[in-house]
A and B are shown apart, each in its own frame.
Chain A
Amino acid sequence: MKRFAALVAVLALVAFAAPAFAANPFMDVPMNHWAYDAVSQLASRGVVSGYPDGAFKGEWKATRYEMASVVARALAYVDMNKASKQDLELLKKLVVEFKDELDALGVKVDELDARVADLEKGVGKWYFSGYLRMQQTFGRDIMQGGVLKKEDDDSWNVNRFRWNIKKVIDDKVTMNIRLQGGGGEDLGVELAYLTVKFPWDITANIGRFWLDWEGDFYATDWWGFAMDDAYITDIRPTMAVSFNKSFGMGDFSLYVAHDDNVGFAETAVLDGSHTWFGDPDDYWSWASGFDWELRGGLESDRYIYGARLNFNFNEMFSLAVNYMKYDYEDDAEVGVFLMPWTKLPMTWPGSYVYGTPDWGFSATLAADVETIWGDLVVNFKPGITLKGQYFMQDNDSAWQATGLLDGILYDDSPKAWKAILEIDQDVLGFTSLWLEYAQLDAGFVFPNGASPYGWMAGDAFCNGYGQVRADTTLWTVLAMQRWNEKWGTYVRYIDVDGWQDYNNWTVAVTHWYTPSLAFELGYDKLGGDLDDDFIWLRTTVFF
């Protein structure tokens, strides 16, 4: 009994004496102490660096002073892009463990706490992210000289590299920059803008940024590749300013942007009665003795003005009214109509329009487009939404004359509308569903340069300026299935009844090998007048 009591006494002495030893800064930290493992873990994950001998290997035996200095340096150099919440908790634990030694070293623990708090908030830091995407397409027919050649072509390319840079400058200003390249484009600045919070609940975007007021009204696949597209917005001019003011359940937005020299880069050359466009040897060359005159420039600066008023009456019902004008400083009233390969000139008295190519060529006609449209959203049951848009345009006379290519004089105030039924996968269980029906008048213009409804649908019902070529009706059906975290599939069908009949089946399987690496294998069958089919494989790595 006495021996047991003595043992208890010794153990108690050791137990109570331990903190006193621990307070001795020159005492070694025992090799089995958790701090070694903690620092080693942080170092192996690249969260901290700068230890004795350049690297921490967890093999040296440190005094508490040395370990405290490691902790202090770790906090000074911690890399928040790599640190997780657990890492910071570990750092905090280390600070608590070596608080006395840190005090003795003259390091104020309160300041370290403040540093950790700042690190957690992330103010003043630079953040980087992005992706790299490769794409292989097998067996797709190619366009050449405005004609779809019935020759299968395989193409392999590094489709896109995207690098996002973000800095929260202070509590009112955030800066975002995106560098992008690939797919034949050099690396360049795709986006660069500031988001600024002003008083009275006003937020502004200033710089080069995407503006999309129609994001809820077009279908996309998992990542937003060309499928459907916005009719008027989803634009990224050279420089723009937008203001948004919230009030109650409503929002009011104003937008103004400017672009330099939009339109054809080719210059028209006048030479008396003998005229031609650009280099006589290239695709656009045209020489003739036709009598015609140049009435304006082929390209022009433009302003884009927009305003939007959106009101949510409640969680079920919202309504928005939008206005946008693409305003060209020098409206195009030039040239003669011609089809380069047929060399058929057509004229429109008094207001000539530069000759438009047939489908397969995307260009911008520098002429005003003014659109007013309304959006309606009804969430009539959880996960089931009915949406509608109605567009009215008032277009420059040049847009009327483009129809002369097809022997039509377009209406200067064409209209379009679409109705969408969207059902979430949560509701149906196995799939989501997007059903869209649209009607567009001949002459309706997509002034944003969009190629709506993906692949070659736009080519089937639009001319080279992105203008609807004949009264058109469209159906889009998209069913997407997210089976689990690793697998997803979708099926899409588009049917166009317009200038040309066109339909397109797409099926695709996506596999997320890791959250950062995804593969997508798809098959497209283009029917109707544009007969083609091909397979594509996309590999994307995100960071």
Chain B
Amino acid sequence: MRRILFSIVVVAVFLSLAVPVGAAPYDEVLHRWQKTQKFTDRGDALSITVTYFSSEYIEALIQSEADKNLWTADEMDLHKYQLLKTLRLDDTIPVRFHFEVMGSAVHMAPFGEQLKLRIGSKTYNPVDYDPIFNFRVTESVEGMVYFPRFDEKTGKDLLAGVGTIKLELSGSISLTIKPTKVDFIWDVANDDPSRIYTGQAGGRLEMDRLIKRLANLNKEKQECEKRLGELDSEIAAIEIRMKELQQQ
């Protein structure tokens, strides 16, 4: 029996090392940024997978989709553009949650208050998330959660110079989870989001940003002009009154 067990161990170790040879070229990168934690409690089960959208992950995801669907370069660029637009990387840190419930239903509302992103010594609450997480989950549900990318006061990039980040999810979302909280950890030191803003998709996104910025500036300009008009009319009214007073 010992010999059998030893053989199993050797085979398992061999398999674990041999996997990349047989796996799809992007699988390891995709797996690296997807963290899964499973919980069981004598009849209840819950699996949580959280994906951090690093530039490496996004590139691998687009490339694997392109390989699967045999896309042209243009189609790939269009997909990249749509994905990046959804991710809102220019002002948020997006993560995707996937809950798989194999037990009692889970109620996580208000979901936005159940999680925070720890960067250094500070924590940040989501700025936006898919409201689907506030509903009863009986099977499987997935959606996006967005954390701020820039400091509200200083405008500084929160991930600049950061080595590791931790996403903390409260254990109180489900009785199946026994720890007080659940942590998902990623090393982001080598992640450079600007890397993915290249090619046509990058150009289109920049154009989107510029259009948005132009619209904001125009709005500000209109407000200024309106205020200027108000001041002009107030000055004119004062001048008229002054003239009236001088004439009296």
Q: Which residues of A contact B (CB under 8 A)?
A: 80-81, 83-85, 120-123, 125, 127, 129-131, 133, 160, 162, 164, 166, 168, 171, 174, 176, 178, 191, 195, 201, 203, 205, 209-213, 215, 220-225, 234, 242, 244, 246-249, 251, 253, 312, 314-316, 381-384, 421, 423-424, 426-429, 433, 435, 475, 477, 495, 503, 512, 515-516, 518, 540, 542-543
Closest to B104 in A: A129
Within 8 Å CB of B15, what residues of A? 423, 428, 433
> Are B138 and A516 within 8 A (Cβ)?
yes
Q: Which residues of B contact A (CB under 8 A)?
A: 1, 5, 8-9, 12-13, 15-16, 19, 22-23, 27-28, 31-32, 36, 39-45, 101-107, 109-110, 112-113, 118, 120-121, 123, 131-132, 134-136, 138-140, 163-164, 166, 168, 170-172, 175, 178-181, 183, 185-187
Within 8 Å CB of B32, what residues of A? 382
A164-B175, A314-B187, A421-B13 known; A224-B5 Cβ under 8 A: no
Bound together, the chains give a CA A421 to CA B36 distance in angstroms of 16
Closest to B30 in A: A382
Extra inter-chain contacts (18) besides given A222-B40, A224-B44, CB under 8 Å: A83-B135, A122-B109, A130-B104, A160-B43, A223-B40, A224-B41, A248-B118, A251-B181, A381-B16, A421-B9, A426-B27, A427-B19, A427-B31, A429-B22, A433-B15, A516-B138, A542-B101, A542-B138
Contact of A495 among B5, B121, B123, B180 (CB under 8 A): B5
> Are A123 and B109 within 8 A (Cβ)?
yes
Within 8 Å CB of B181, what residues of A? 203, 244, 246, 251
Within 8 Å CB of B186, what residues of A? 315
Closest to B113 in A: A171
> Are A315 and B187 within 8 A (Cβ)?
yes
Within 8 Å CB of A85, what residues of B? 131-132, 135
- A-B contact list, 7 entries, CB within 8 Å: A122-B110, A160-B42, A203-B170, A251-B181, A253-B180, A503-B1, A543-B104
> Are B107 and A382 within 8 A (Cβ)?
no
Shortest distance from the beta carbon of A162 to any chain B beta carbon, whole Å? 6
> Are B106 and A162 within 8 A (Cβ)?
no
> Are A131 and B107 within 8 A (Cβ)?
no
Within 8 Å CB of A516, what residues of B? 138
Bound together, the chains give a CA A383 to CA B36 distance in angstroms of 9
Contact of A315 among B140, B164, B179 (CB under 8 A): B164
Within 8 Å CB of B36, what residues of A? 424
Bound together, the chains give a CA A339 to CA B39 distance in angstroms of 41
Shortest distance from the beta carbon of B178 to any chain A beta carbon, whole Å? 4
Within 8 Å CB of A426, what residues of B? 27, 31
> Are B138 and A540 within 8 A (Cβ)?
no
A130-B104, A382-B31, A426-B31 known; A224-B185 Cβ under 8 A: no
Bound together, the chains give a CA A493 to CA B131 distance in angstroms of 43
Contact of A223 among B103, B112, B121, B170 (CB under 8 A): B103
Within 8 Å CB of B42, what residues of A? 160, 223-225
> Are A314 and B135 within 8 A (Cβ)?
no
Within 8 Å CB of B166, what residues of A? 249, 312
A424-B36, A542-B103 known; A120-B8 Cβ under 8 A: no
Shortest distance from the beta carbon of A209 to any chain B beta carbon, whole Å? 8
> Are B121 and A247 within 8 A (Cβ)?
yes
Contact of A312 among B103, B109, B183 (CB under 8 A): B183
> Are B43 and A211 within 8 A (Cβ)?
no
Shortest distance from the beta carbon of B123 to any chain A beta carbon, whole Å? 7
Interchain residue pairs A-B with the least CB separation, the first 6: A122-B109, A224-B40, A382-B31, A127-B107, A515-B139, A129-B105
Bound together, the chains give a CA A503 to CA B1 distance in angstroms of 10
Contact of B105 among A191, A251, A543 (CB under 8 A): A543
Which one of A127, A315, A495, A540 has the greatest number of beta carbons of chain B within 10 Å? A315
Bound together, the chains give a CA A180 to CA B135 distance in angstroms of 24
Bound together, the chains give a CA A248 to CA B122 distance in angstroms of 8
A84-B135, A315-B187 known; A223-B45 Cβ under 8 A: yes
Shortest distance from the beta carbon of B41 to any chain A beta carbon, whole Å? 5
Contact of A515 among B39, B107, B138, B178 (CB under 8 A): B138
Bound together, the chains give a CA A464 to CA B7 distance in angstroms of 34
Within 8 Å CB of B43, what residues of A? 131, 133, 160, 162, 223-225, 540
Within 8 Å CB of A125, what residues of B? 109
> Are B185 and A315 within 8 A (Cβ)?
yes
Contact of A224 among B45, B113, B183 (CB under 8 A): B45
Within 8 Å CB of A225, what residues of B? 42-43
> Are B44 and A421 within 8 A (Cβ)?
no
> Are B5 and A211 within 8 A (Cβ)?
no
Bound together, the chains give a CA A291 to CA B8 distance in angstroms of 55
Shortest distance from the beta carbon of B50 to any chain A beta carbon, whole Å? 12
Shortest distance from the beta carbon of A302 to any chain B beta carbon, whole Å? 21
Within 8 Å CB of A428, what residues of B? 15-16, 19
Bound together, the chains give a CA A424 to CA B107 distance in angstroms of 27
A222-B102, A475-B5 known; A248-B175 Cβ under 8 A: no
Bound together, the chains give a CA A315 to CA B33 distance in angstroms of 10
Closest to A175 in B: B172
Which one of A123, A312, A381, A503 has the greatest number of beta carbons of chain B within 10 Å? A381
